[in-house]
Every structure is written in structure tokens, then in C-alpha cells.
Structure 1
Amino acid sequence: MTITRELLIGGKDVPAASGRTAEDIDPFTGEVWATVAAGGPEDITRAVDAAHGAFPQWAAVSPAERRRIFLAAADLLDARAEQAADIMAHEAGATRPWAYFNVGLAAGILREAAAAATAPRGEVLNAQEEGVLGLAVREPVGVVAAFAPWNAPLILGVRAIAAPLAAGNTVVVKPSEDAPVACGLFVADVLREAGLPDGVLNVVTNAREDAAEVAEALIADPRVRAVNFTGSTEVGRIVGTLAARHLKPVLLELGGKNSVIVLADADVDHAVDAAVFGVFMNAGQICMSADRLLVHDSLVEEFTAKFTAKVASLPAGDPSQPQTVVGPLVSAGSARRVAALVKDAVDKGATLLTGGGEPDGAVHPATVLSGVPREAELYHSEAFGPLVTIAAFADDDDAVALANDTEHGLTAGVITENATHGLAVARRLRTGIVHVNDQTVADEPQAPFGGFQASGYGRFGGRWGIEAFSNTRWLTVAAKQPRYPF
């Protein structure tokens, strides 16, 4: 049964001004699962109209009321876990464990937003003039443009809007064409039911061929005062350039080329279990997924044998089956892209340890390579699929050099039984996040999340998210009339 959804503008479900629609394809079956309104620039203007009009009232809403709404939304999201899992399976090929993880973390982000809404905001300054009170006050910026991706649709759909709303802003979100319901409309449904006022959150879905035009219209609207984008580095460069052209602050959370480093003092069995999770959760379609496993010379033979055997046993296929670990990629085209990376690497001298071959529709087998040369595209490009490479290193300097040999800088894992050793290595890695004695995939709503270099800039999470979507103003109050020189 195909579902139909319209745009959400000003609290109302409305068709696109053009009357056009777009198809939302189930990646496992290849069939149309939903039809959504194909919004255009004129719909962006309508949505910004609504957000701009709702801003003064929402900014004036008490922090306690904002907190109540976010807490209610978190409870509603928890209660709708089964519905959310079904949506994610149909839109993004998500397995059940991945979908439930999305629900739990997205609810946690809403609860963290509730806490942030009532947290102290601002500082009392030591003024130079006698009898003057100086204040640094944080205030909302206005309308925020948010771009939410498909791969962790509930987590990233909620993250795109939670901090901006908690800070008192209103939002227009453009969800991914691959998961417009899960990362846009479903999230908005939950917040509407929780009591979010009309116009505070608006959702404009679009056809894939209109994406660039719709995004540019949203960023360029002069009433939009800040932008956040989570997605590929390639598109992030475009979004960052557009935002800079219009002198708007932008928070970019982009791709990664992440490494798990297995030091000589690691527990090999733990390292294997951690690496399998870090590589193959959500079929490797996470910005934090481990693309590279760097293993000390003394452990690489044992690690490779055990890791390859476990990978070869991972159940793959139908995401609705509870035993499935590696579900389909978001599209058959994505599976072919991963297959092309494998073929290119093998043609240039890499060794295929397990997996490979032609994908079955959108399902690509879990694949492990070793000996990938620098001239292979995979050496530098993000895999973003069920694909990983193994390489050996001789010492810490060698491991750090290999891990840092990338333009990205998002996350890393260092597996060791010696925390002091692990921390010493972690401090040398050029990433925004490092987990010692763990793999690369982890997220907590109160922690600063983001990278640098080609992995983006700015931070989601906790107070850092509030700071990203608010202005700092300097206010003074003179307790007595100042004296002037003329």
C-alpha cells in the first residue's frame, strides 16, 4: 500500500504549489512505498513566510513550556518505535536494531534539547566602568534552514531541528529525497502532537531533480539567518559556499574516512567484535563507519583470520527479518558504486578476503580487502557501504601516519588494553572524535559532535548546539548617569 504525504507549512498539510509529486522507493523491493509533494522555490518562500511569522511568539515562549513540548515529543517517539522502524525499513532499508537505535538516540536528543531549553544561558561580565553591569546574553537568531539526511533519519532528522528549536528559533527543514518521511514528516508529526505551535517547524519535500534549486532558494532567503547540513562532503562544500555567499553561519557535519587502530596490547577477540560493529552497522552507511582497520604487525594475521570469518557469517538481505545484520543500501545505484570501488581496488592490486562480486539489487555483500594501493579510489574515498580495508603498521608513529593520511577528520577508534597508551595515540589523531578501546560509531546527545578538515565544522550536541544557533549580545546597564568629556 502506497502512502501519500504533503508539505507541512504553517501547521497545515498542503500540496506543492505546482501540484507535482515525487516517488519514495523501497530499496529492498524496488517498489514505490510513498508519494510525497515535490516542493519548489515557491514552496520554500511559503515555508519561510510561516517560520518568520511564527518566530516572535516562539522566541517568547517560556523555557519551561519548550521543555514540556520536547519531553512530550521524546515520549511519543519512544511509543512509536514500531511505526518508526517500519518507515525506516521501507525508506532506507534499515534493519530493526538500527531503527530502534535511531528511536532511542533521537528521543535522547529531544530530552537533551528539553534540558538545554531551561539551562542557564549567558554570562555576567566584569565591566570596566564603576557602577555598570555587563551582560553577555544569548538570543535566538530567527529562521534556521536545516538539511536532514537519510542514513540515520530519526537521529539526524531530530538533530537538525532540536537545538535550533530549543534556542527559540523556527525551522524550515528540507529532508533527504531518499527518506522524506522518516527524517522530515514523521519527526514533524511527533512534535506537532507534542504541542509544537503552527509554523515553528515546516517541512518541504522535493523531487531529486529539484534538490539544488530548492536548497539554494532556502539558503538565499534573507529571512533565513543560519544553516545546518549533515551529508556528504561534496554537497557540504556547495552548501557552505552558498551560505558564505549570503554571509550566514553554517554548521556542516560531513563524511569521514575513519580508522580503527588495533594496538599491539589489544585483546584480539574484542577488537574483532568492535570492528565488525563499527564497519557493518547499517551496512556501513554511517558517517562514523570504520573504513580502515589498522592492525599492529604482531596481531594482523590472527586479527585478519578471525575478522574475515566473522564477516563472512553475517546474515544479509531483507531488513524486516530480525536476524539480518547487513541490509540493503539506500539504492541499487549505491550498491553498484560500492561494487565499483571493490573492482577498482582489486584491479589495482588489492586482495579480496571475503565478499565482493555483483550486488543483488541494493544488497551488497559484506566485503573485506587488504593491500589496497594508494592509487585505488577506495584508498582516499569514503566507502559508505559494507566494505572495509585492513592494513598493518609497525609502531605508533606508523599507525598515526596512516590514520591521518586523509582529508577527512571525523572520528577514530583505538583498541588497546592500556588506556594510557590508547590516550597517547588518540591525542595525535586529527579527528573531532576518538574512542579509546572502542570502535568509531558512537553518539551521545550531550557530547560535542563533529569533525574538521573535509568532515566539516561546528558542533551539534549539548550546549554546543545551542551556541551554534544563537547570537551572543553585549548588554550594559549603568547604575548611575555616566560622565562624558564634552
Structure 2
Amino acid sequence: MPVATEQQGRQIPLWINGQDVVTSKVFDVQHPSTGKVSSKVCGASEDDVTRAIEGARAAFPAWAKTPATTRRDILFKAAALMEAKKDELAAAYSHDTNASPMIVSFDLGAALTHMKSGATIATEVRGEIPQTSDGSLALVTREPYGVVFSVCPFNMGLVLCVRTFCYALACGNTVVIKASPAIPFLHYSLGALLKEAGVPDGVVQILQFAPGTEPERTEQIIAHPHIRMANFTGSTKVGSIIGSLCGKYIKPCLLELGGKAPILVLESADLKMAANNIVFGALLHSGQICMSTERVVVVESVADKLVEEIQAIAKNELPALGHMELASKLGVEKMDRLVSDALSKGAKRLTVESVEDKKVAEGAHAYLPVILDNVKPDQDIYYQETFGPGFVIIRAKDTEDAVRIANDSEAGLSASVWTRDYKEALDVARSIESGAVHINGSSVHDEPNLPHGGMKTSGFGRFNGMAAIQAFTQTKAITMHEPHALPIAILK
């Protein structure tokens, strides 16, 4: 397991106006594998937050007027630097958390794709000339909002952070980033990289909030008149708070929240292939992906056979997925609570012969993969996202019942359908209340060229291209009139 050993307790400053800012309020981050302090992180004060916002606002006019081709070239250079510094970024990744080489490689590749995509759309921001009722000339342009507040999650530390700012920058916005305290060194490292790429000082600010100060600092940012929109990826609980604050202060927001992704396995499905995708989609990165497979909804006629295939795949392939470990003690406690509740109410824990049927001792937050059968609605795990290494099997009477079960959820980010009947697959896919439905594929699939929204409480989902332009710009209507007198008399 990659663990930072040579630089224990590395100081992580804030990044404001292109400079490191060291604060007196410092908190420790413990590496989940060792439990030892890996970083000492500077927390932003009220004054630090104000300075970051004002710096981003001061940088906005010049950045918004920067030629689109220049913004494009800067983002392409940032992508090139990320590729050139991939070993440094991988080391920064492992400094504060444990991610398998496969995840680090995948995450870096996805981040590069989004950075390049952001560069590409910089020159694609266009307006239109609509018809007007009186024949006057009207122009509708797309303008950047101004300063965007972006909150980055920990689980896919590069791509989900890069995605929060690259499209906003491409459209001419400046960004104040609230980095993840779980991977502070990785997110902090992006500041100097962007500066080297040519991003002007103040265009990207990177902050950390000390534990206990998050509510106050978050409201301070959203309430500030220079903050024009918020962009959050994370839990439904925190997303609800962000959304409420944006409503309170009348700010637009983009939210990608939790998932409870179902895989529907129908009668004609290739069960061996479905089982492979289920295990991979549920346990990759210890289940800490918003699109991770959480629910396997299988029609009763093939349920027993699917369970056999899942156990065989798990027995043979689990080692390839690497050590299962959660990012925090809270994640371990949540998994324990959900699994214990389900078992006490009749769920059956399937045995996996390649590992012992208990929590492993190695690693401070290590956790054994959990597969539960016979899961029912009275069990908390039926509805609640685990965000951990496990999934549940829910047996349905038939296809119609499988669709009903899949839609019995507050989340609707990603789903999957397995069947050899493609007409059935399309009919079922259209019936599932999810922003993305993959046919004969894993629920964990991010195609950046296919934007999709989230349904229910999943928020906006993924975006790229024109969807990103629409997300990070606002419309402005400009109408040219011939000078004429208004009939003031009718107003008297």
C-alpha cells in the first residue's frame, strides 16, 4: 500500500492570489492506512476567505476579457503539465490516502480528458440573433457568471476537482475552490501547476476549512455578493445544505449528489458477464464512487444462478481490485451500522472464500467486502448509500417488479440493465428514473462526451461540451432600438 513515509506531517498552506498562505489555525490529517499524521493543513479564517473572494473578483474582469484562444492554450498547457507530472501527482495522491495504482491511473486519465475538453470549449461559447416582435436587432450572448465557488470531493480526487474548475475557467469565470480535507496535498498541488500553465494569480484560489468551521465559512462564501454561483459534488446531506444556502442568498448552483445505483439483471442476461460487472462496479475503489453499484435487482428465475456467478467472480477476482479501505473512520462506522441492521432484519451475508468473513485488521480503515442477499425495504441499507465496499441483492418477481424496485430510491444518477433482448433493454432503460442508464455495462462509467443529468436528488450529474457552457455561463439579451418617444401619457 502506498504510504507517505518520508514527509510525515507535511504543511499544507492555502493558495490565495498565486501564493502560499500559512495560517495559525492548523488541523491534522491522518493517513487511513497507518493512522499517522500525513499532513498539517492550514484552515482558512474569515479574513482569509474574504481575501480569496476579493482576489478572485479582482482577477475576473481581465480573465473574462482574455481571448478565448488564450484561455484554451492555458488549459491545454495545464493538461500537458498534468501528464508530465503524473508521477508527482500520484505521489501527492498517496500522501494522504490509499488508492490503488489502477484508480490513480484511471483518475489521472479522466482528469486529463476533462481538462482538454475544457480547453476545447473555450472557443465554442456562442450566442444567437433571435427574431423580435418589432423587428429590432437583438443579440443574446453567453457571459461568465463571475466568481464561482466549487467544492471538491475526495473519492476521485483529480477528475472531480478538475471538473469543478476547468469548464468554469474556459467560460471566463474565476474560481474559489474548497479542497477536500481527506486529500489536501493533492488539491493544493494543483495551484502551482495551474500557475505554471499560465493561469493568472487570483483566477483560482484553493482553501481548506478546519473541522468545525465548515458551516460558518461555507455560508460566508455563498452569502458574499461577489460569489455568483456554487458548484458542489458530494453527499446528499451536504448538498441539501449548499442548495438551501444558495436559495437563501439567490445564487444558482450545480449539484451532483449521492447515488444508489441499481443493476437490473433480467431473465435473458449473460449472468457470468453481469456478475463480473457487478463485482467490479461495486467494489472498485472500495465502493467510494458516486456511480458504484449499490443494488443488484435480479428477477427471481435467475437469482440463484447469478448469486453463484457473483461468488465465483468474487473468489477469483477480488485480489485484482486491491486492498479495501475507507477514507475515514466515519465510513467504517456507517458500513458497520448498515450491515448490522440488515443482518438483524433477515438479510443473508454471502461468503466469499478468498477472504475471511470478518473485518480485516490490516490498515486503520480497512474493510472486508460485504455482499448481502435477501435485502428488504425494512432494512436501512435498502435505501441508504453505503459508499463502501459492498452491495445488496434484491430479488424481483419479474421485469416490471425489477423496474419498480430500481425506482424505489431518492437517487437517480446511474443505472444498468442486463439482458440479451435489446428491445426489452431500451424499454426498461426508458422506464428507469436515472440520468444515465447503461445497457450490458457497469454502472460505473463516465463518458465525458455524453452529458447527462441526475434525476431525483442526484443533482445535475455529468456534463461536458455545450452542457458545460450552459452550466457556467448566463444569457444576456441586448436589443437595439431606433430612438423613439414612449407614450408617457398612458402612465399618468
1:47 counterpart (43, 47, 52): 52
Residue 337 (1) aligns with residue 334 (2):
yes
C-alpha separation in 1, matches of 2:237 and 2:12: 29
d(CA) in 1 for partners of 2:318, 2:36? 23
- Give, in whole Å, the separation in 2 of the partners of 1:101 and 1:77: 13
Q: Assess if the C-alpha contact under 8 Å between 2:448 and 2:462 holds in 1.
A: no
Q: Is the 8 A contact 1:55 1:200 kept in 2?
A: yes
CA drift of 1:461 comes to 2.3
Report the 3-state secondary structure (helix = DSSP H, G, I; strand = E; otherwise coil) of the residue aligned with 1:209: coil
The question of 1:6 aligning with 2:9 is answered no
Q: Which amino acid aligns with 2:85?
A: R
Structure 1 residue aligned with 2:238, among 235, 248, 264? 235
* Aligned residue in 1 for 2:200: 197
| Structure 1: stretches of 5+ with no match in the other structure | 317-322
SS state at 1:216 partner: helix
Task: Note if 1:346 corresponds to 2:343.
Answer: yes
Q: Is the partner of 2:129 in helix, strand or coil?
A: strand
Q: Distance in 2 between matches of 1:177 and 1:77?
A: 21
- Alignment RMSD: 1.8
Contact 1:11 1:198 in 2 (8 A): yes
| Pairing partner for 1:22 from 10, 15, 27 | 27
Count of residues paired in the alignment: 475
The alpha carbon displacement at 1:283 in A equals: 0.5
Contact 2:145 2:229 in 1 (8 A): yes
Question: Which letter does structure 2 place at the counterpart of 1:164?
Answer: A
Are the structure 2 counterparts of residues 248 and 314 from structure 1 closer, same or farther at C-alpha, using a change threshold of 3 Å?
same
Unaligned runs of 5+ in 2: 1-6
Counterpart in the other structure of 1:415: 418
Match of 1:281 in 2: 284
Q: In the alignment, which of 267, 270, 294 is matched to residue 267 of structure 1?
A: 270
The C-alpha deviation readout for 1:174-198, integer Å capped at 9, x for no partner, is 012112222x312223212211010
User: What's the secondary structure of 1:94's corresponding residue?
Assistant: coil
User: Normalised by the size of structure 1, how large is the TM-score?
Assistant: 0.94
Change (3 A) 1:39 1:485: closer
Letter in 2 for 1:337: K
The equivalent of 1:358 in structure 2 is 359
- Alignment of 1:211 with 2:208, yes or no, is no
CA distance in 1, matches of 2:331, 2:58: 40
Partner of 2:3: none
C-alpha offsets along residues 119-156 of structure 1, whole Å, 9 cap, x if unaligned? 142112112223x2222110011111000000111011
**Deviation of 1:481 (Å):** 4.9
**Residue in structure 2 matching 1:167, options 162, 166, 171:** 171
2:350 partner SS: strand
Distance in 1 of aligned mates of 2:91 and 2:141: 43
- Decide which of 91, 95, 120 is 1:90's aligned counterpart: 95
1:167 maps to a residue whose letter is C
SS state at 2:105 partner? helix
Contact 1:157 1:187 in 2 (8 A): no
Query: What is the match of residue 319 of structure 1?
Result: none
1-structure distance, mates of 2:463, 2:269: 31
Tell me, yes or no, if structure 1 residue 454 matches structure 2 residue 451: no
**Cα pair 1:312 1:354 within 8 Å, conserved:** no
Of the three residues 78, 83, 106, the one matched with 2:83 is 78
Residue of structure 2 aligned with 1:432, choices 432, 435, 443: 435
CA contact (8 A) 1:59 1:169 kept: yes
- For residue 120 of structure 2, give the secondary structure of its aligned residue in structure 1: helix
Secondary structure in 2 aligned to 1:153?
A: coil
Partner of 1:31: 36
Q: 1:350 to 1:179 in 2, by over 3 A?
A: same
- Does the CA contact (< 8 Å) of 1:74 and 1:110 recur in 2? yes
Offset at 1:114? 0.8
- Separation of aligned partners in 2, 1:13 and 1:330: 26
**Matched residue of 2:181: which SS?**
coil
Aligned mates of 1:214, 1:108 — CA distance in 2: 32
- Separation in 2, partners of 1:34, 1:450: 36
Q: How far apart, CA to CA, are the structure 2 residues paired with 1:299 and 1:398?
A: 14
Please name the residue that 1:137 is paired with.
141
AA at the equivalent of 1:341: L
Determine the C-alpha separation between the residues in 2 that align with 1:418 and 1:76. 46
1:124 aligns with 2:129: yes
Instruction: Give yes or no for contact 1:326–1:366 (8 Å, CA) kept in 2.
Output: no
Cα distance in 2 for partners of 1:267, 1:190 equals 46
Q: Secondary structure at the match of 1:125?
A: coil
The residue number in structure 2 matching 1:320 is: none
Instruction: Indicate the SS of the match to 2:408.
Output: coil
Secondary structure, counterpart of 2:205 in structure 1: strand
| Offset, 1:324 | 5.0
Partner amino acid for 2:75?
Answer: F
For residues 91 and 51 of structure 1, what CA distance do their matches in structure 2 show?
28
Aligned-residue sequence identity (percent) comes to 37
TM-score, normalised to structure 2, is 0.93
**One-letter code of the match for 1:8?**
W
CA-CA distance at 1:444 after TM superposition: 2.4
Distance 1:37-1:109 versus aligned 2 partners, 3 A rule: same
Alignment of 1:154 with 2:161, yes or no, is no
